Amino acid sequence: MNVDISIIIPTLNEKENINELVERIRKSLNDIKYEIIFVDDGSKDGTIEEIEKLKKKYKNIKLIERGSRRGLSSAFLDGVKYSDGKYIVLMDADLQHPPELLKVMYEKALEGYDLVIASRYIKGGKIENWSIIREFISKTAIFIAYIFLPETLKVKDPLSGYFLIKKDLLDNFKVSDPFSYKVLLDILVKVNYNKLIEIPYTFKERKYGRSKLGKKIIFSYLKQVFLLFNISQFIKFYLVGLSGIVINLLALYLLIFYFPFYISSFLAILISIIWNFILNDLFVFKTKKRKFLERFLLFLGGRGLLSKPIQYLSALLLYYIFGINYLLSQFIAIFIAAIINWVFTKGIVYGK
């Protein structure tokens, strides 16, 4: 079957949304070859019966019945297995993801983008009728992703549940947790895509049914971040950083015999940065998309123009404004700089 787009839609008690969703997809993609793959996890409200009616009416609708809750991420993978399209779309069944955006996403794919993300947080995107608490939870979750998974740094909405991806990129793709809800997070960390773009959309208020956001989803997200977090790489990165302190002090000890302190200190810092870069480049980060000189200049700039100034200003702020002990102020400032170094190095210097 020659299909351009396979649209995977996980369902659980979405009977009232199904017919409108299918009709809006049909209008959006009326001149494009597509299929809809519903993956149901044991709906009890008549969702399956509605889909069966639509299957008889339209030949491009498939249904995978799984009988019980097995997780959104595994639903996505099961949908991919049964798909025939060149591109895969994941979207919700609750009409919060506007089907009218599908054609725009496909057009971007034809322009050469491997991954097209419908974004709530770039210019032009917005969310309807969210409480301050829910917005805070969403922004905090993104911040957590940026810190622990810097591969997501270039994306404004790394937790979007609405995206299109080239199917070929999913050949060996496995999710960190089949019960996780944020498939895109796994893709951003694991998939070797080339070109990515975000397009704005309005995240609509749910018309029918109940939102599935709750404590379970929050804990599932934290578990997913932990599973995706490369702990061994993180440890290696900071061991290299500690070795850089030793090199800094050793270089200063040797240079002080030949140069005044202000020159010796500067050269010692530069030598330690070069040392850190070489070790990180050789032993910590295996994926290198940028050229050597570009990586080095970014690495040098990240420390000289970003983390070190922030470290210095943070120490001054904590000591003079908040009255914190000078040693504790310096320690906290070093910790802040260390986090910035990790995020910048992994997300920008060695990012996708």
85 and 202 part of one domain: yes
pLDDT in tens, 305-328: 999 899 999 999 999 999 999 889
pLDDT in tens, 117-158: 999 999 999 998 888 998 999 999 999 999 999 999 999 999
pLDDT in tens, 178-193: 989 999 999 999 999 9
93 and 224 part of one domain: yes
Domain boundary residue, one of 205, 228, 251: 228
Give 3-state DSSP helix, strand, coil % of the chain, rounded to 5: 55, 15, 30
Domain boundary residue, one of 195, 228, 261: 228
Q: How many domains does the chain have?
A: 2
217 and 299 part of one domain: no
- Helix residue ranges per DSSP H, the chain: 15-28, 47-57, 72-81, 102-110, 132-148, 183-190, 215-228, 231-255, 261-279, 292-301, 308-316, 326-344
The candidate with the shortest Cα–Cα distance to 79, out of 159, 148, 170, 157, is: 170
159 and 34 part of one domain: yes
Quick one: average pLDDT of 182-211?
Answer: 89
150 and 187 part of one domain: yes
Domain boundary residue, one of 198, 228, 258: 228
303 and 269 part of one domain: yes
pLDDT in tens, 68-108: 878 899 999 999 999 999 999 999 999 999 999 999 999 99
Residue 336 CB partners (closer than 8 Å, separation 6+): 310, 311, 314
45 within 8 A of 76, measured Cβ to Cβ: no
pLDDT value at residue 4: 96
292 and 329 part of one domain: yes
Query: What pTM, to 2 d.p., does this model score?
Result: 0.90
Average pLDDT, the chain: 93
9 and 22 part of one domain: yes
Distance between CA 268 and CA 251 in Å, rounded?
A: 5
CATH number (domain holding residue 57): 3.90.550.10
Please give the residue range of the domain that contains residue 305. 231-349
Which amino acid, one-letter code, is at 89? V
